[in-house]
Structure 1
Amino acid sequence: MSFQVEDNPAKRRFEILVDDALAGFAAYTPGDGVLVFTHTEVDNRFQGQGVGAALVRGALDEVRARGDRIVPRCPFVAAFVKRHPEYADLVVDPA
């Protein structure tokens, strides 16, 4: 099984393809150098296979490469960052 994470700015979401099939997405609201992650969804066929974690990891790696930051309003993204403190520096205070 091969994962590929891509940003789809037209739909305001990162998408994960598993063997070229859309397996899930992480939706965001773009701001000035900040992406507010609002919702993550993985197709039932791909749940429990690490697809959600691969999706968020790929999205956060892309955010880091751009020099942007995040607000993890999505509970899945927030939990991922909590479990992976190497991404904590990407989080900004939404205040």
Structure 2
Amino acid sequence: MLMDYKLIDNTEAKQYEYHIDGVIAKIEYIKAKDKIYLTHTEVPKELEGKGVASSLVKQVLEDIETKGLTLVPMCPFVAAYIKRHPEWKKLVLKGINIA
């Protein structure tokens, strides 16, 4: 059952977060001018297999779109998500090939 988690943009820690049952799922990022590099996705063991990471990526992509940023997906999980959901390719920096 996919829950609707609240996305937190923790700008100090440079990561997007979900706080679930006392643990944190996160996507780390680097922002440079109008670009955002998603570098690492991490979901605690106890949350694995529940669709948390996919939900997190989706909400982060929505936030990036809202902010008008250009995405550089350095994290393999994010790149794989975009490959499965090609409608998000519009956010990706031109010239980056998502294999």
Q: Report the Cα distance in structure 2 between the residues aligned to 1:60 and 1:40, rounded to whole angstroms.
A: 13
Unaligned runs of 5+ in 1: none
Task: Give the CA deviation at 1:6.
Answer: 1.3
Unaligned runs of 5+ in 2: none
- Counterpart position of 1:36: 37
Kindly indicate which of the two structures has a greater share of residues assigned to strand. 1
Structure 1 length as normaliser, TM-score?
0.90
**Runs ≥4 in structure 1, deviation > 2 angstroms?**
none
CA RMSD of aligned residues (A): 1.7
Structure 2 length as normaliser, TM-score?
0.86
Q: How does 1:66-85 map to 2 (within 5 A)?
A: 66-85=67-86
Q: Report the Cα distance in structure 2 between the residues aligned to 1:32 and 1:79, rounded to whole angstroms.
A: 25
Q: How many residue pairs are counted as aligned between the two chains?
A: 94
Task: Give the CA deviation at 1:94.
Answer: 6.9
- Counterpart position of 1:90: 91
- Counterpart position of 2:49: 48
Q: Is the contact made by 1:71 and 1:93 (CA closer than 8 Å) also made in structure 2?
A: no
